[in-house]
Structure 1
Amino acid sequence: MKRNILITMPSLHSGGAEKSLISLLTALPKDMFDIDLMVVNKGGLFYNMVPDGINVIEAPRSFRIALGRLYEMKSIDWGLKCISNVLLRLSRLSNLKTLQFTWMMWHKIIPDLHKSYDVAVSFMDSMTNYYVIEKVNAKRKYLWVHNDYKKLNAYAPFDAKFFSKADNVVTISNLCVQSLKETFPDLKDKFIAIENISSKKLIDKMADEFYPEEYKGIEYKTIILSIGRLVEQKGFDLAVKAAKNLKEKGVHFKWFIIGVGGLKENLKAYILQNNLQNYFELLGERPNPYPYIKYCNLFLQTSRFEGKSIVVDEAKILNKPIISTNYPTVKDNIQDGQSGIICEISPEAIANAIIALNQDESKQRHIISHLKKYCNGNEDEVEKYIKLFCRTHNQKVLSI
């Protein structure tokens, strides 16, 4: 008999968790599960990639407004939102994170979901975690945390109330599990790791679809690529400063960034102020980033923190020499000197690592050889998701 599953997600805009969810929905066997997908804010890069057979359901209007869909508001909603915003400013005197405080303000207005499920999943560390616990009737409930929890600056006692009511809190690497256990020692048995799915067969196929127009005519330069949201976490402010350093040292390169986000205008201003237009380019979103990865010379990960980076795993599958900053969970992705190079989190260290690896063809060949041998995707990880979703009510997971 099929299991009825609800999966909730704030949006399907560009991002690793969003991409991972599409891969999971594609991989889950349709003869085992009937899946309802609630995307609170519809649209985005991956929204049209939801596979056939998945039933996309509407989120309650009040939930959509709470997560930012202001144009749906009516006059009474505007009044509530104004009061909420005033109190939100006052909340900054407290320890609550914005999403936590917003849920506290709106949760009584957001209605329960009337349908019952065997399994309810919140696939993102967002208000959907709170929604699944408080508003959904399901036999089992699983919450996801896609980052190093300690770096999220959330108010842990608030989240503890929700984590304690979940059957498990799933994160994406062993180091991320450790971060959760250290933050919530009383809940340590709740936390498990299941990796995001990266399909080598699909990535290789998509990587062969075209040669990037932006790369044509600059093959004599070192083509550097980074992918991620234009937010402080991803460290592209460090990247653009490293580009300035490289330019001043006479390095011939072009650095491309795929992604969108709130720091776009700041980055564009720095590029113009430092005459980096021929060295550093913001490409925006790309539905298929894999040809950009396949045909670049170096892949750069400049993050300040991550969970377990999906895009780094994808660059490994495409056998690209990788340089990554030394964020706390980087060793879940990179074995320094083998599958890539790890450098300190500063513009100078990033620039020096680029120069050193770009000049060391022997090291590049060694990394590429290692990746070809050991990095071939993890499609079998879907079995862990199936095992989790098929647990009986009294069955306790000791390991996944």
Structure 2
Amino acid sequence: MATPSQTPGPAPLDLTTVRTAPKAVLHDHLDGGLRPATVLELAQHCGYDALPATDADALAAWFAAAAGSGSLERYLETFAHTVAVMQTPEGLQRVARECVADLAADGVVYAEVRFAPEQHLDGGLSLDDVVHHTLLGFEDGMAQVRDLGREIRVGCLLTAMRHAARSREIAELAIRFRDRGVVGFDIAGAEAGHPPSRHLDAFELMRTNNAHFTIHAGEAFGLPSIHEAIAFCGADRLGHGVRITDDIVVDDDGTTRLGRLANYVRDKRIPLELCPSSNVQTGAVPSLDKHPFDLLARLRFRVTVNTDNRLMSATTMSDEMVALAVTFGYGWSDLERFTINAMKSAFLPFPERLRLIDEVVKPGYALLKG
């Protein structure tokens, strides 16, 4: 039997060790995670000459600065450049393949990566072509990771833009490709003036086909967006959802009182796809230390940690976890809980979720906890 001095302790919780921890991300945009060098190379190949910088470091800095304006609308404008270079089969496959490689290198073992096929038609591809080539890229990336002796499972979410009128069409696309790598459906874009209830036919199609969907809600707009996403549309998860705190009162003595909507979200275990760095950049929260993540975690909402857009926020899953740990004093058990929350909420069959939790996530964190 080991003496106390011989008993190994927990690994230091820093960026190097967190990168080795198994992680799951549910909210990661494909067009928000390109490598700056890839943007430059694809722009050259397709003749796109509107990039704001001509070298990778300067381009990365521009994306971070433009995305950090504090405005969701300005944040969304940065995607014009990444989407512009994702209009060919080669571009889509390369971006998807590199996405898988980058996530795996950061210790991600499960990822749901989303994108809006309707935004990739300028080069003459059909919606089916766009999804087909993107899924090929994901498959290539997963195969390359397996060849390196590591594991990652990537599922694709097809997103419809809430200001457009193609949500039913994109939902049909998600159903068509559901057994080929697409695991769900989403709507995204500016919330104000574009309520989720305008897309009820798309959500009804998903429910009719027993298919999963999440909805961007409660990021730049408040409780009405969350209420509609849940009560009218039947969302399985909430993309961001930080504004659920509008229905939570914290008294001076620290006592909390939840309104009916907040109670419902917690009681039903509706997952919140929280994206800390992005939420600060878009002005959804004023600063990381003011982020409601910790409040929601302590109140036992099903919180998950996500990247949103790795390029725009200059972030990774490891960066997000370390930032939360430093800001709120989290330890390995907390990071494990957030990861298990994500795996429980994944759009995967239950046996596959359970296998990743029991065979990958828990053993990985057990090593780190010592």
Do they superpose with TM above 0.5? Answer: no
Structure 1 or 2: larger strand share?
1
More RCO (CA 8 Å, sep 6+): 2
TM-score by length of 2: 0.29
Structure 1 or 2: larger helix share?
2
